[in-house]
Structure 1
Amino acid sequence: MFVLFIIIILIIAALISIFGSKSANKKEKEKTFYNQKFDEAIKNNNIQIAKFIDLNFSDSKAKFIVDEQNKKCCYINVSKEATTTKLFDFKDVYKVELIKDSKVKLVESQFSIFDTYNKKEYVKKFGLRISFNDLSFTHLDILFLNSLTGQTLFGLNHVVESTNSWIQIMNIVIERGKEERAC
């Protein structure tokens, strides 16, 4: 009886191992596919990455890239069916706003989220919205926090730091774009 029990456990462990490795293989192939598509789009558009962020959607993956050398921002979206690339000159990036839950607020050039919001306040969505001068792609929302339950900003220092960092970068992009428009 004990031997039968051990055999059953070994069979179950073997099945779990087989299915687990198939799942890991599938994830690795998917990761390789996306990375290859991103690399192709970056190379084909001569993008020099200064700063980027990965965005995951239910049916695709995307990257938002700041290219200081070419003075462009780039949005690349890769799905199983297609790769979409949108390039924006700095002069076409005209606004960055803070998203807090369902509200959007224009941010100043010198901005600290902790200076404006109560650290103990509960937040479900937190990130930024970048607006472009393009009717086919008016804005991009980058959420650093997208939760079903509220969380305090006090416990989310990495979220606040990431949001602050991107706000500062995008404000520099906007200022450089203003200089380009003035010329």
Structure 2
Amino acid sequence: MQITQLFSAAVLMASAVVANPTPMLEAHGTGLERRVPKTSGAACIKAPLSAEKDFSYYTFTIDAGVKAAAAQAGLTKIGVRQHCNSNGGPFGMWAQNTENWAYVPLDKFGPDQKYNVKVNRCKKDFDRHVWSYSVWLCNNNNWCGTTNCGLDREICPEQKTKAVNLNDPLKWTCSA
């Protein structure tokens, strides 16, 4: 073995030790959990920081067409899930992503009926910050199952923060 081949092998081994494992975790088809929820791919929603540092506020509308189907399926609440992303410490190896949920009665339908939902802020530690949110149809026991109203919508706050005050211009189209 030539010295240049030995050096190349040593560099390859060293880079494998310190390489960031995150891309492997987010690879498609591996069966591993993604670090962040799949998003709709739409442009992120700009959001100011929340005036109350311990709470996020989400203002949005849902499609009026879901009213009858939701009632027939026994879905009586709206669930809002706030995803908090974590930078995960050195090399992103210990991601501590969290989710916060809040529930309100399912009683507003159409463009003039806005929900304003108060959600606890992201937890402290691990540099957690608001990343995305989603809306779900839920039953009386706060069980939402598979009745989400679409993929997560990314949030672009003015700066990394644990709480936002988001006013979503797009309606959520739910199906029950």
TM-score (norm 2): 0.29
Q: Between Structure 1 and Structure 2, which shows a larger proportion of helix residues? A: 1
Q: Which is higher, the Rg of structure 1 or of structure 2? A: 1
Q: Between Structure 1 and Structure 2, which shows a larger proportion of strand residues? A: 1
TM-score (norm 1): 0.28
